[in-house]
Structure 1
Amino acid sequence: MIKLKSKQNILIKYFREGLSQRAIAREVGMDRKTVKRYIEEYESKLQEIENFNGEIDKGELIQNLVDSPKYDTSNRVKRKLTDEIEEKIKNFLEENRIKRQGGLHKQTKKIIDIHEALEAEGYNISYSTVRNAVHGLARKEKEAFIRGTYQPGCICEFDWGEVKVTISGKQRKLQMAVFTSAYGNYRLAFLFTKQKTECFQEAHALFFERVGGVFQTMVYDNMKVAVKQFVGTEKEPTEGLLKLSSYYLFQFRFCNAAKGNEKGHVEKSVEIVRRKAFAFRDTFETLEEANHYLLEVCHKLNQRTIKKDTNQTAEQLLQEENGHLLPSRPPFDAARVVHPRVDKYSTVTIDQSHYSVPDHLVGEVLKVKIYSNRILCFYQEENVAEHHRLTGSHEWSLQLEHYVKTLKKKPGALADSAALQQASKKIKNIYKAYYTSSPKDFVELMQLVKEGTSLSVIEQSIEELRKINPEHVTTDKIKILCKKNRDAPLSLPILSSQESKAIEHHAQENLKEYDTLFQTGSIGTKEGIA
């Protein structure tokens, strides 16, 4: 095919310089018939332009006149790519489509695999021909997108997005649950540690509670918390999604595989919310602080104008949608329930991490409710333990009071126990200050905690005794003061004469404080102390 410059050269030499077609062919090194054809085509199109009568586009005629020469390939016969081979290629592409729908996108045939398969069947065809055929078929099958119109309160889309932030000095990878209404583009997002069923359910409960109602239809992609499995081309919903739908009465539908455009609102929202929030700040003390910040960012985004013609914001459009939402309900109990057996360490294993329970339950089967941020353990419908949920794997959450029974038998094991190491700083300080040489008494103090006495009450009692005399900080006296605070007035404890002398030795102010502490005024005379 000659280039446009060659065509221009031919036309100039013929029409401007007056050279013959034969002379031009010799000069440009081209066949005379080719030179003749381009000259005749030019004259013919020029005549059409001059005789233009409006029946066709004059601009199109001019473009044809000056365009590069093109070969007419409309009647060219395919040499290698026969109809039979093209049909074979179509079958391979259809096989790939079915595999992708079944979640087997990593097991589809590439172009080179299709070429090898055709050669194995005895077809003599080049790789480039197969490649061009595949690309040609793909162009034929490109889909058109239909712009949707949405009714208020009808459609809400959901998706997950990954966020990397620093919590308490440690970088964490969090999962951001994002909701976007299709009608008003109202956005709301929440951070979770995992993409688990309980997090998925809690996100919906939080969203519906905040917007004050339930959207009629929720849209999801093929996420594991929503799609249990593929049955042919159909998708079977998970039990967690069915429970949500049954409680809130919303309908749901799934996007086709790899069709993010079918929930384009939330696909864009994940990127926008993540960038507007965490491109500006990514360091927090707690997950709660990060979530509070994220909600503030969403609130600012929802103050922006969405509909230019009416100057309405996303928040105003949500108010318009409220009248079309399904009725609001009390928040869904977003808990995953399992029934583990208590192991020899008096722990239950949840998602590869261990949580302690009272040691008398070793070997028993418990009911455990797993929430996004806490673990509740039940034995015969009684709540026997509660933990903050661990975010990693192979971690241990041990509460010292759960091991009181065992430590009573083995008090020497207390100092080096993992339970003591994981105890709160306040408990460890009490142990180091008063009980390092009497672990058995410390175990008795933990029994008091186990029976329901708050640590703050115990700390208050210790402080009152310490002000009088540090030697008075014993478990027995702590118990007395705690009981006094619960059941005042309290019958006065009998003190030894040696302790009485020690009290009298203190200043008058301390004596008055001690008398008040033990309610000696209720007896009437100081002689009431033996």
Structure 2
Amino acid sequence: MELWTEVRRRVLTGELSRRQAAEEYDLNYRTVAKACEHVEPPGYRRTAPRKRPKMGAYLPRIAQILEADKRAPRKQRHTAKRIFERLRDEQGYTGCYESVKEAVRAYRQGAQEVFLPLSHPPGEAQVDFGYAYVDLAGERVQVALFVMTLPYSDALFMQAFPRECTESFQEGHKRAFEFFGGVPGRISYDNSKIAVTKVTGSRGRQLTREFLRLESHYLFAHHFCLVRRANEKGKVEGLVGFGRRNFLVPVPQVDSLEELNAELAKRCEADLDRTLRGKSQSKRELLAEDQQAMLELPKQSFDARRVTQASACGLSLVRFDTNRYSVPVAHARRPITIVATVDEVRLIDAGRLVAKHSRCWKREQDVYDPVHYLALLEKKPGGFDHARPLEGWGLPGCFDELRRLLEADGLGTREYIRVLRLLERFELKPLADAVDYALDIGVIDADAIRVIAEHRREEPVALFSLDGRPHLRTVDVPATDVSAYGSLLTAGLEGDAS
């Protein structure tokens, strides 16, 4: 570089001619001419593409294979090695693998799409789901990660749910709006079946009823990306991975998803104190500008749930989401309305709540409430010890003692079932206390236990309070003179005698 600079300086300042410089420095005349044209050595430049005597004839076939791959499943597309093997076996290619790999790389680089950076005004959001693994109660399970971000401030909110479904989609929105302190005016989504029933053109969408109910409650506007164009919501796409790497590494060990979600909310809150490259303010400060452009939270709380219809079968079970949930036998073979949230399943018959279960997220499970089958067992007491809904029913020990005494006295299993049916009216703890008391006093029939339980449930009459009634404090009520009743009795006897 020093020689290049000296030759260039002396020739261009007129100290030497190009020919003199070539002779003095023992350089080719073309090299001196090149030094005069370029500030620094331009390096080797090929005037024509390098010839490929073996590979050239196969380039159209490589392009054909890679074009066809665009219509193949993503995980079943050709690698450079597989293309090399096909060219060798099908067309007699005798060149090396490196030449094929270089040709494939060059084609793919030329076909890669270039994206336009987008601006994001305050008050807009993007939503997506991702997946991660957690150790839940000692078992490694996959969870769905709901992520909402505000691209202007880069504020992030993440929650974990057992599965991506309508209930988790709605519950995620509800928690995110409460976390951000407002409702974004516009939210971008991909074309998930949770929200979209049909794509009707590049931007046209038919939306699900539950998504429209969510939108109607919070009054935000929606924006759905073009099909296979997730780059339109690239902020949230990147933050799904960011949250997974930074909030869920190492793999969390928790007893419940509620515990995990509380920790995720804390992490998202702490993340607001970061200042990103190119930003002059922290996420928290920019979030304040986002909030000014947001809609206010509705005064009425949103019920994040899915409603569907089913019928109870002859086993008094209602199928929902691959599982079956029990209802009282009186509602068997009847149409049932199912209202499901992420935590529970409510079963309604003719507008009346008849059963409520904790949501089961496993598959092909039967979820029983033993109380639902007691009315049937009272008619068929012989099946009591073999009834599947009663398997593993952890009743207190006093119930076993009660059954032993009832069978010893000849009252039998039917009377014991009558006692258990009191669980239709009383909680387990109060009824167990009543059974304990009945055993202590030696009264063990169902009617006596019912009376004891009802008596214990009655609240004593509260004392009349003078608080706020100062005028009543001056009232003096004299003590009753019991002897006055004696005179009344005497007068009554004299009247009868006359």
Does the alignment reach a TM-score above 0.5? yes
1:447 matches 2:421: yes
1:464 offset after TM fit, Å? 3.9
Distance 1:113 1:264 in 2: 32
Matched residue SS, 2:243: helix
CA offsets per residue over residues 261-314 of structure 1, 9 Å max, x none? 4433323322332333332562222222222222222222223334775442x2
1:110 offset after TM fit, Å? 7.8
Residue of 26, 46, 58 corresponding to 2:39: 58
CA offsets per residue over residues 405-434 of structure 1, 9 Å max, x none? 2111112322332222243x3x35343232
Match of 2:495?
A: none
Distance 1:285 1:338 in 2: 31
1:238 offset after TM fit, Å? 4.8
TM-score (norm 2): 0.72
Distance 1:278 1:105 in 2: 27
Distance 1:422 1:242, change over 3 A: farther
CA contact (8 A) 2:136 2:256 kept: no
1:484 matches 2:459: no
1:346 offset after TM fit, Å? 0.7
The letter of the residue matching 1:277 is F
Distance 2:114 2:222 in 1: 24
1:435 matches 2:403: yes
CA offsets per residue over residues 419-465 of structure 1, 9 Å max, x none? 22243x3x353432322544323322332221x32223223323444
CA offsets per residue over residues 14-55 of structure 1, 9 Å max, x none? xxxxxxxxxxxxxxxxxxxxxxxxxx9953023432xx3xxx
The letter of the residue matching 1:305 is T
Match of 2:292?
A: 323
Residue of 326, 341, 352 corresponding to 2:322: 352
Matches within 5 A, 1:223-262: 223-228=192-197, 236=205, 238-239=207-208, 240-255=210-225, 261-262=231-232
Distance 2:62 2:428 in 1: 74
CA offsets per residue over residues 54-100 of structure 1, 9 Å max, x none? xx5411x3x43xx4xx6532597999969xx96x9878766655x47
The letter of the residue matching 1:73 is A
CA contact (8 A) 1:158 1:218 kept: no
Residue of 319, 329, 337 corresponding to 1:367: 337
1:394 matches 2:359: no
Distance 1:57 1:472, change over 3 A: farther
Identity %: 23
Distance 1:80 1:419, change over 3 A: closer
Distance 2:96 2:301 in 1: 59
Match of 1:526?
A: none
Match of 1:297?
A: 267
Distance 1:48 1:488, change over 3 A: closer
Residue of 438, 441, 457 corresponding to 2:430: 457
Distance 2:164 2:56 in 1: 48
1:44 matches 2:34: no
1:114 offset after TM fit, Å? 9.5
Distance 1:309 1:95, change over 3 A: closer
Distance 1:309 1:231 in 2: 39
Name structure 1 gaps, 5 residues minimum.
1-39, 491-530
Matched residue SS, 2:385: coil
1:132 offset after TM fit, Å? 6.6
1:179 matches 2:148: yes
Distance 1:443 1:472 in 2: 16
Match of 1:15?
A: none
1:480 offset after TM fit, Å? 0.7
CA offsets per residue over residues 115-167 of structure 1, 9 Å max, x none? 99999xx9x99998998766544333333333322211123333322232222
CA contact (8 A) 2:126 2:149 kept: yes
CA offsets per residue over residues 486-524 of structure 1, 9 Å max, x none? 55689xxxxxxxxxxxxxxxxxxxxxxxxxxxxxxxxxx
Distance 1:78 1:246 in 2: 66
Matched residue SS, 1:339: strand
CA contact (8 A) 1:407 1:414 kept: yes
CA contact (8 A) 2:144 2:160 kept: yes
The letter of the residue matching 2:443 is H
TM-score (norm 1): 0.68
CA contact (8 A) 2:167 2:340 kept: yes
Distance 1:488 1:208, change over 3 A: closer
Matches within 5 A, 1:9-88: 42-49=28-35, 52=36, 56-59=37-40, 61=41, 63-64=42-43, 67=44, 72-74=47-49
Distance 2:342 2:357 in 1: 12
Residue of 100, 122, 142 corresponding to 1:152: 122
Distance 1:430 1:170, change over 3 A: farther
Match of 1:4?
A: none
Distance 1:41 1:414 in 2: 108
Matches within 5 A, 1:124-273: 135-167=105-137, 169-228=138-197, 236=205, 238-239=207-208, 240-255=210-225, 261-273=231-243
Matched residue SS, 1:290: helix
Aligned residues: 428
Matched residue SS, 1:297: helix
Distance 1:188 1:420 in 2: 43
Distance 2:82 2:50 in 1: 31
Distance 1:465 1:267, change over 3 A: same
